[in-house]
Amino acid sequence: MSILVNSDTKVVVQGITGKEGAFHTGQMAAYGTRVVAGVSPGKAGQPFDGIPVFNTVRDAVQATGANASAVFVPPRFAADAVMEAMEAGIRTVVCLTEGIPTLDMIAVRQYMKGMNARLIGPNTPGVISPGYCKIGVMAGYIHRQGRVGITSRSGTLTYEVVDQLTKKGIGQSTCVGIGGDPVIGLNFVDVLEMFEHDEGTDAVVIIGEIGGTAEEDAAGYFRKHMTKPVIAFIAGISAPPGRRMGHAGAIISGGKGTAEEKMHALGEAGILVVPDPAGIGDAVSNMLSGRQKH
């Protein structure tokens, strides 16, 4: 099984005729994702590699039954694109765009209140359920179908962990990049809850980083609600306070959000914290084989 996406997911790509949208549409389709439509205002009726293109998401949904969206539009248009998708009835929106103004995302979060819609991102590599569907920029070939869920704030570290697991013969149920911006859609707690209730997931890997309280919140949720084992790694242990490291959300402010604080909270909750990313594959292997308990 999987969370968020599966073989029945029908994807519309917003910004399909742009450079990034065009390239990754081809990659998603080649992986087996059901890309059923594209949206590019003013270019309706001009198919892209056999995929019908529409002026609006609503037109695309009405014609194809699309139920998920991949947003590949420039930052200044991205918030409107996300809200357009949700207004058209899309229930899973994956926003790959980075550099979206924070105030724009605050408006999106306000718009989402009371709506039956889920936003992944922005500034995310996307989501993939190996063997079924991928929405985003993740390299499909390094993934393997299996029963370990992964959720991460870092795209690059996600690829590293997936590669380690796959080389050890350990497959993944779903990998979710929640995004590295200060204001995002789904967070660690949301994704952990989905994995906890997913019969196809036996264990979960969290890849966090400095800044914010997402990891501390995840620790609290794990302590109270989870029965499945979780392994965590926190990036940025050597980051100096006040300096942004890579992601807009990765900044230590007022002495809060440090790697040490996060590692302590996770460990206190009973989560196995791995200090070196190179050891995550071994830690997962040991846990699954029952040689290491926590």
pLDDT at site 250: 47
Q: Which of 143, 197, 225, 247 is catalytic?
A: 247
Nearest CA to 183 out of 247, 140, 87, 244 is that of 247
- Listed by start position, the domains of the chain span 1-123, 139-294
CATH number of this structure's domain 139-294, picked from the four choices 3.90.580.10, 3.40.50.261, 3.40.50.720, 3.40.50.300 = 3.40.50.261
Share of the chain above pLDDT 70, in %: 91
Helices within 113-242 (DSSP H only): 155-167, 188-196, 214-225
Give tens-digit pLDDT for 190-212.
999 999 999 999 999 999 998 88
Which pLDDT value is given to residue 70? 98
pLDDT in tens, 52-96: 999 999 999 999 999 999 999 999 999 999 999 999 999 999 999
- Strands (E) in the chain, as ranges, are 10-14, 34-39, 53-54, 68-71, 92-95, 118-120, 126-129, 133-136, 145-152, 172-177, 203-209, 230-235, 272-273
Residue 246 has a pLDDT of 53
Q: Supply the pTM of this predicted model.
A: 0.92
Domain 1-123, second-level architecture: 3-Layer(aba) Sandwich (3.40)
Q: What is the pLDDT of residues 138-174, one digit of tens each?
A: 999 999 999 999 999 989 999 999 999 999 999 999 9
**225 assigned to active site:** no
Side chain identity at residue 223, one-letter code: R
Q: Which helix (H) or strand (E) holds 84?
A: helix 75-87
Q: Do domains 1-123 and 139-294 have the same CATH topology?
A: yes
Is the CB of residue 96 less than 8 Å from the CB of residue 185?
no
